Structure 1
């Protein structure tokens, strides 16, 4: 097995990505495999030898993931942990050594140094993807030793897009794998590290290159130049996961980082780089709206404290997303609007309403106007539901977003309905439309509550409404 590097590229790929991965996934086979001298030779060659460095980065990552996954097949917990330390300890140590070189700045741009750093990052990323209950602690220890060195490397390689991307992707995969296992102390350390990473990224304006390229993008393959931006979006989404948020909320003490602060710092970095043109690229668009929906569902109150530019960017992107051709994107945007509107309604019930101070530009019957966020989205959703190509399979999500908007803006809703009815020249259409609007808010004993039963009733009302008016409006 230690002769992998002597194979041709096709054989290397089959061995690293197929053969070894397959046998390790079979637990009984793997339990026998890790006891073989040939397997020990392979792990020693990986950990300390240089021969396997000739493999491509992708294969280094696959091999690291496979070898690290095998630790879970070692029955004795101590032996399993030691296996993983012997396997990945030298890799982490080598990265620390490279980042600690006194002459790092003078040699960092040399091809062999960059290649070594990239190989080490790929291996660390592969191991991070092998995180399982038995391997989590050791892998966290390994990652903890390289956190500060990674920040050093990000500073040094701020203008080298490949290294920046690999650092980000390692952190993305590491946070993703570790989130469900971390205790409060580990969570605090990880979130603090992510905050420092984002601050360094921001301080050097690493994203400036992407802005200058945005006008030249023409297809999905060219959009891959934005892969570090996508990695940042995924990192923020992983930090925003309920596992990390819940842990720090329950256990956070003095000195614990504020996850919301970390996410909003990241959002401040990312959103200026994302134009509406960029959101036309499916991969980037999905990553962005997954983050925005998670963020607004968990921290809707933070929107009230955003500066005007940040607020306008987020709301403007939701406007764009609600008209997207991708159903998943529309669903995410409706969930985000639901979160904002529900929060706003509850705040109003409590005599608060800071969100109302944030104004948006909308298209009214007499031209453009400035109005509250709930007024803006009520007007927009009714426009989309009645006059645009809205997919009926998303009606449930639309109902969940529309209900709190109706509660917040009852007067505006009545005014919009009257304006629409006044425009109808056909008496039959006008009568049917008036009945449909009446039933939308009156049928099924609808109440002024956002509890689950009332939401279910309103979902039925909206489905009936869409069926009633589909013959003479644009609903599909």
Structure 2
């Protein structure tokens, strides 16, 4: 079986195929076929009554990691031609991603991957967003930040004795990714677009 990060590379390669396509309808159908199963799986995991225990079940935990890495691969392959359809499907998965983030708040790797996915979505799509899309994406990211703050901030100040522990290393990675996400959200381009289009 492929490792979760190998799924990311595979989906990134599949996403880059659109560079050789010119028909918008063909591109839309192609990306939809690839991403729809991932979005449905995200929604399915978020709807599970035992979602709080997902990371304690190896099969479900691995499925979640594969889904998140696969979505990251597609996001990394974002092309101007595929951007609209990708964002449409990613938007449909955002509520479920927030639910899964909260459910997996005590697990370092899913938390890190959701933060990375969120940061990469903003980075890949920020130059293409309409006012309405920017509002939706900002609301999603703010909820991700809020979830992270509520569940992890207290753990980041456990004392110097834990600085070299594995958990602290993972929290450091999470914090770095969170700062990147916030940097994207406060970038000059997004602020200028919001001001010009009257976004609130």
- The TM-score normalised by the length of structure 2 is 0.91
Contact 2:5 2:66 in 1 (8 A): no
More helix by share: 2
Contact 2:127 2:189 in 1 (8 A): yes
Matched ranges for 1:100-139 at <5 A:
100-107=47-54, 109-139=56-86
Matched ranges for 1:67-82 at <5 A:
67-82=14-29
Check if 1:151 corresponds to 2:98. Answer: yes
Higher relative contact order (CA 8 A, sep 6+): 2
Q: State the 1:163 CA deviation.
A: 0.6
**Which residue, out of 113, 118, 122, partners 1:166?**
113
Check if 1:142 corresponds to 2:104. Answer: no
- Supply the distance in 2 between the matched residues of 1:154 and 1:213 (Cα, whole angstroms): 25
Matched ranges for 1:67-466 at <5 A:
67-107=14-54, 109-204=56-151, 206-212=152-158, 214-217=160-163, 223=169, 225-253=171-199, 256=200
Contact 2:11 2:70 in 1 (8 A): yes
Q: State the 1:57 CA deviation.
A: 1.8
1:74-108 CA-partner distances (Å, limit 9, x unpaired): 22111011101101111111111111123323555
Change (3 A) 1:69 1:195: same
Contact 2:52 2:104 in 1 (8 A): no
1:202-258 CA-partner distances (Å, limit 9, x unpaired): 222x13333226444369xx74551000000100011112221111122234xx3xx
Q: State the 1:157 CA deviation.
A: 0.6
Alpha-carbon RMSD across the aligned residues, in angstroms, is 1.9
- Supply the distance in 1 between the matched residues of 2:153 and 2:3 (Cα, whole angstroms): 27
The residue aligned with 1:454 is none
- Supply the distance in 2 between the matched residues of 1:252 and 1:109 (Cα, whole angstroms): 46
Q: State the 1:69 CA deviation.
A: 1.1
Unpaired segments ≥5 residues, structure 1: 1-53, 257-476
Q: State the 1:72 CA deviation.
A: 2.4
Unpaired segments ≥5 residues, structure 2: none
Change (3 A) 1:214 1:227: farther
Q: State the 1:130 CA deviation.
A: 0.9
- Supply the distance in 2 between the matched residues of 1:103 and 1:158 (Cα, whole angstroms): 14
- Supply the distance in 1 between the matched residues of 2:63 and 2:169 (Cα, whole angstroms): 27
Aligned length: 198
Contact 1:72 1:80 in 2 (8 A): no
Q: State the 1:160 CA deviation.
A: 0.6
Change (3 A) 1:157 1:218: closer
The residue aligned with 1:58 is 5
1:334-373 CA-partner distances (Å, limit 9, x unpaired): xxxxxxxxxxxxxxxxxxxxxxxxxxxxxxxxxxxxxxxx
Contact 1:60 1:119 in 2 (8 A): yes
Q: State the 1:199 CA deviation.
A: 1.5
